Structure 1
Amino acid sequence: MSAYDDKPWLDRYAAGQPAEIAVEHDNAVDMFAAAVARDPDSDIIRYFDGRITLRELDELSDAFAAGLADAGFAAGDRLAIYAQNVPQFVIAQLGTWKAGGIAVSVNPMNRERELELILRDSGASVLVCLEDLYRDVARNVVANTDVRTVITTSELEYQTRNDERLFARVTRDPDFEGNRVDMSELIDRHRGSAPPEVSLGPDDVAFLTYTSGTTGPPKGAMTTHRNVVFNAQTYRDWIGIGPDDVILGVAPLFHITGLIGHAALSLLVGAPLVLMYRLDPAVTLETARAEQATFTVGSITVFIALMNAPGAQKDDLASLTKVYSGGAPIPPSTVRAFQETFGHYIHNIYGLTETTSPSHGVPLGADAPVDPASGALSVGVPVYNTVVRIVGEDGADLPPGEIGELVTSGPQVVPGYWNKPEETEKAMGGGRFRTGDVGYMDSDGWFYLVDRKKDQINAGGYKIWPREVEDVLYEHEAVREAAVVGVPDPYRGETVKAFVSLRPGTSAEPEELIAFCKRRMAAYKYPRQVDVLDELPKTVTGKLLRRELRERE
């Protein structure tokens, strides 16, 4: 039996838990209905001073679904949601499912070209977006797409606090031109109406989740209802989340982490989801304290921002005892610093858009081991029902300790990309998803990521993984964020260049940072060039954009 088949990690590190779990609901609507039936009057969304109960969310999404059907929206149609972390995102997503449709998540940072690409690729017939995003972006492109109905809404709704730190630039202009429907008016017109009966099966697509496009054009991963329900249960059971927990929504809802680790998890267990429009470190700390948040999952850059927020205190996150990070590698030094600042350990969780969020996780209460050779922090062990192999260039399994590509099989892996059969076969042929991530498994079953295949630097024949250099830079007390890329070099072909931002109130010269790495790394690995920037480019989910840095060079 292969080391990748016997699941030693589950026996050893998840004692008392089953190696496999069964999918409890046929679809995400039934999953939500079960939560409504258990406790209809408990909060399910908290948005500043606003509260929405499970019963109210059920009624709001029913009305939205009825309004969609009245406008000609049918089972299998696509509805794009172009919004920040607001209650309307969840209402529209649930309502789309109740109407038998497919929700399409759109990054609110996307501009005309990017939005048009996703609308055209998905064939969305309805667009839900914030008023300012319609006025400034969407109305310039919808005529070039299949969108026939635009529904607008405002981030000022469902709350009355109007925090100036977040909403200072938000203006309501209900009379601005444009062929659109107001979401509140649509819901009010259909309040009390039941949507038409639809049949949703486990293999029906729940939403199209577009890959970040950091290595090429974004592709729409077809996330099924089975995928959604299974990994919502994975979060619940792996971490121990129940209705008494409070979920702090720091990840964007358009991203797979926010969709599953925030929204779907909340709808499954009936725990309130705390939304804050967009991430502001000071507002997040205040909200976590006021709402007594107990769980969150977000990129490591979120936790770095919280640590560096002016006036941050240990008590701000006293209740946040279940802390997970995914979406970008975690330097061990940052985990230690967060624990020193707030008293809580950051548990790694790892997955991709195509694995519907987690394929690996560190069990709650366990500290991830650190590889003594590279200093890398383990991303955890495979979660329920999941087998992850390390394979070589020939596709054959590699033994523990050897570096290769991670290939994942399990019920969280999506069946393919929307209208891209060749891309689907290349990435997922044979039921195994080739992640493009490079790493290894140790003899105890812990997995470690080295880097993305495409990010490897070849300096004079020596292979260098950017993450290893970045982890060393994070050990410097002044470094807040670090990104390492290969740049052209007349002698070595490629050489190592680092971009860093510094912690507030600190300073460090490039020469100092180069010398710091030189003392800690092999001669061919340390950066020959360092640029100090105010901010490093990153996606809205916190993933550092090495490609953009390479293009600058």
Structure 2
Amino acid sequence: MSADVSAYASRPWLALYREGTGPSLVVDHPTMLDAFRAALARDPRAVAVYYFDRGLTFAEIDSRSDALAVALTERGFVRGDRLALYLQNDPAFVIGLVAAWKIGGTAVAVNPMNKARELSYILVDSAATALLCLDELYRDVARAVIDGGGTAVRAVVTYSALDEQTRDDARVFSGAARISSDPALDLESVYQQHAGGRPEPSRPAAGDTAVLMYTSGTTGVPKGAMNTHANLAFNAQTYRDWIGLDADDRVLGVAPLFHITGLVGHIGLAMVAGCPLILAHRFEPGVVLDAIRERRPTFTVGSITVFTALTAIPGVTKGDWSSFRAVFSGGAPIAPALEAAFAEQTGLYIHNIYGLTETSSPSHAVPFGARAPVDQKTGALSVGVPVFDTIVRILGEDGEELPVGEVGEIVVAGPQVVPGYWNRPDATAASLPGGELRTGDVGFMDADGWFYLVDRKKDMINASGYKVWPREVEDVLYGHPAVREVAVVGVPDEYRGETVKAFVSLQPGADVTEDELIDYARRNMAAYKYPRSIAFVPDLPKTVTGKILRRELRQVTA
């Protein structure tokens, strides 16, 4: 093994850690239920969740989750069963999680944008026996799936997004009304019928699966990543200790709770810190800005597209952001130009963070208070350094460990890496050999221990035999003042095999031509890299977490 290769094992990144932060984490709580109970014991009357004009205390979350747990056990839910959560960013998500854990169950996070086919797949694959569901989703999607048979669901509980608040903000609740979900149970009725009830205790173990979280399925059918209590407790505390948060902080929930960032960086963090979580049903920029002004959060983590949307609101000022001590961004790469623009508009430095569902949120983060470097060769902003107790290597095509500075697949080992995929031993063996995650992301480490994400392996463009990484082209185009968002894909080309095409949405009021943008790119990168064509679009397709969907753009060009 060369001196360069051995640098991974020697963990050069430790020298970059924030002063007073050690290389390892002593985890306070073996399970997420223990973390919740510790916060409850510390101060039952402290607010656990702010939701519009209402604040729910830890004691209220405790009593509501007790009532739901009792109702589920009365309907046959036993230790090891799965409770599917088909919800938005509402208090019911937190209550459903805690209820499932109290009776030894596993929560299954379901994207509320999923339609019948997708919901059916997850319910069947997970063998969920219970469903907690937004009432309109039950009416429009879930009821037909369950009535059609084929699932193991025998208990359904619905709730209204209008519950737990009285503001009824038309920007997110326009036309909303409480919907009768008979024969399903109503969550508010469950609270009344089982008030004061407590389930028989069924304490989860650290290695039990706390949440089944399904991958996006971009390279095949979705797989349920088994995020254990130990995985979640470790990385929730990683957030807390990496930044230095405590019960006096307030977490703004802008990422979807069904996504790993929202689950760990919002709910998990708020539980281990014992601080409030601020929710607003779904992301609507004006509503979230009002929540910032009213509740004065000190921390958030979300995709860069979320922060772009918030800073674009007319009338937003640096004063609106003055309560924040730390802002982190993950889920999609950040172009250096966007980081600089955010700092100019808010006065805050946005720290990069990187992870996957299979790493229970972060495997890398920029040390709090540090500034991520930009690689001079690729123009990429570093995604940070490996977090506590985490070893990251770069592997080549043949699985060999590559020297420092060389580009290859990022592989991660640490306490946050899931043990496998639900009922998929072959997929587990392929993606997690020896417990080390093959991420499918391509990047490199510099000599100081900073890591850089180049792109997804499957997104690489082969133009006349040259490798072109879309991320690098996008970062250059983001440097043009007219560009708001950009995505680059490869398209068939008779001469080059593949060539580079960019899809661009412009800043409001901006005026630039295709030729001007192509010329700008040509002047800032090698001749084989710059886009040969540019399509202007009003908006780019995105996932609910804000990640731009290149695959949809490739389909447009097919």
Output the TM-score relative to the length of structure 1: 0.98
Give 1:23 shift. 2.3
Question: 1:146 corresponds to which residue?
Answer: 152
Question: 2:130 corresponds to which residue?
Answer: 126
1:525 aligns with 2:529: yes
Question: 2:176 corresponds to which residue?
Answer: 170
Moved over 6 A (4+): none
1:226 aligns with 2:230: yes
Counterparts in 2 of 1:36-185, with a 5 A limit?
Answer: 36-142=40-146, 143-144=148-149, 145-174=151-180, 178-185=182-189
1:480 aligns with 2:509: no
Is the Cα contact below 8 Å between 1:214 and 1:545 reproduced in 2?
no
Question: 1:453 corresponds to which residue?
Answer: 457
Give 1:321 shift. 2.2
Residues 283-325 of structure 1 show CA distances to partners (whole Å, capped at 9, x for unaligned) of: 1112112111100000011011111122222211111120000
Distance 2:104 2:377 in 1: 51
Counterparts in 2 of 1:425-436, with a 5 A limit?
Answer: 425-436=429-440
| Paired residue type of 1:194 | R
Give 1:481 shift. 0.9
| Paired residue type of 1:138 | A
Is the Cα contact below 8 Å between 1:478 and 1:507 reproduced in 2?
yes
3-state DSSP of counterpart to 2:10:
coil
1:330 aligns with 2:305: no
Distance 1:437 1:219 in 2: 18
Distance 1:483 1:311 in 2: 28
3-state DSSP of counterpart to 2:192:
helix
Is the Cα contact below 8 Å between 1:457 and 1:463 reproduced in 2?
yes
Distance 2:300 2:219 in 1: 28
3-state DSSP of counterpart to 2:7:
coil
Give 1:22 shift. 2.0
1:406 aligns with 2:397: no
Residues 63-110 of structure 1 show CA distances to partners (whole Å, capped at 9, x for unaligned) of: 111111111100111111111100001001110111111000011111
3-state DSSP of counterpart to 2:191:
helix
Within the candidate set 310, 313, 324, 1:306 is matched to 310
Distance 1:352 1:197 in 2: 32
Give 1:11 shift. 2.9
Question: 1:199 corresponds to which residue?
Answer: 203
Distance 2:193 2:159 in 1: 15
Question: 2:345 corresponds to which residue?
Answer: 341
Is the Cα contact below 8 Å between 1:246 and 1:292 reproduced in 2?
yes
Give 1:373 shift. 1.0
Question: 1:395 corresponds to which residue?
Answer: 399
Is the Cα contact below 8 Å between 2:102 and 2:203 reproduced in 1?
no
| Paired residue type of 1:477 | P
Counterparts in 2 of 1:242-321, with a 5 A limit?
Answer: 242-321=246-325
Distance 2:98 2:551 in 1: 35
3-state DSSP of counterpart to 1:141:
helix
Residues 91-140 of structure 1 show CA distances to partners (whole Å, capped at 9, x for unaligned) of: 01110111111000011111111111111111111111111111111112
Distance 1:482 1:349 in 2: 20
| Paired residue type of 1:43 | V
1:367 aligns with 2:361: no
- With 15-24 and 473-482 compared, the bigger mean Cα shift is at 15-24
Give 1:14 shift. 2.9
Taking every aligned residue pair, what percent have the same amino acid on both sides? 59
3-state DSSP of counterpart to 1:530:
strand
Is the Cα contact below 8 Å between 1:67 and 1:187 reproduced in 2?
no
Give 1:15 shift. 2.9
Distance 2:214 2:191 in 1: 28
| Paired residue type of 1:46 | Y
1:16 aligns with 2:20: yes
- With 316-325 and 510-519 compared, the bigger mean Cα shift is at 510-519
Distance 1:540 1:353 in 2: 15
Question: 2:8 corresponds to which residue?
Answer: 4
Give 1:396 shift. 1.9
Distance 2:219 2:262 in 1: 21
- Structure 2 residue runs of 5 or longer lacking an equivalent are none
Distance 1:354 1:11 in 2: 26
| Paired residue type of 2:445 | M
Give 1:480 shift. 1.1
3-state DSSP of counterpart to 2:432:
helix
3-state DSSP of counterpart to 1:4:
helix
1:190 aligns with 2:194: yes
1:438 aligns with 2:446: no
Give 1:552 shift. 1.4
Equivalences, count: 551
3-state DSSP of counterpart to 1:63:
helix
Distance 2:137 2:122 in 1: 15
Question: 1:543 corresponds to which residue?
Answer: 547
3-state DSSP of counterpart to 1:5:
helix
- With 275-284 and 412-421 compared, the bigger mean Cα shift is at 275-284
Distance 2:67 2:514 in 1: 58
Distance 2:504 2:173 in 1: 30
Distance 2:508 2:141 in 1: 34
Is the Cα contact below 8 Å between 2:18 and 2:368 reproduced in 1?
no
3-state DSSP of counterpart to 1:399:
coil
Is the Cα contact below 8 Å between 2:160 and 2:179 reproduced in 1?
no
Residues 5-48 of structure 1 show CA distances to partners (whole Å, capped at 9, x for unaligned) of: 12221233333211101222221111111111111111110000
Structural RMSD (CA): 1.1
Distance 1:276 1:310 in 2: 20
- Structure 1 residue runs of 5 or longer lacking an equivalent are none
Within the candidate set 226, 244, 255, 1:240 is matched to 244
Within the candidate set 25, 29, 32, 1:28 is matched to 32
Is the Cα contact below 8 Å between 2:18 and 2:369 reproduced in 1?
no
Question: 2:510 corresponds to which residue?
Answer: 506
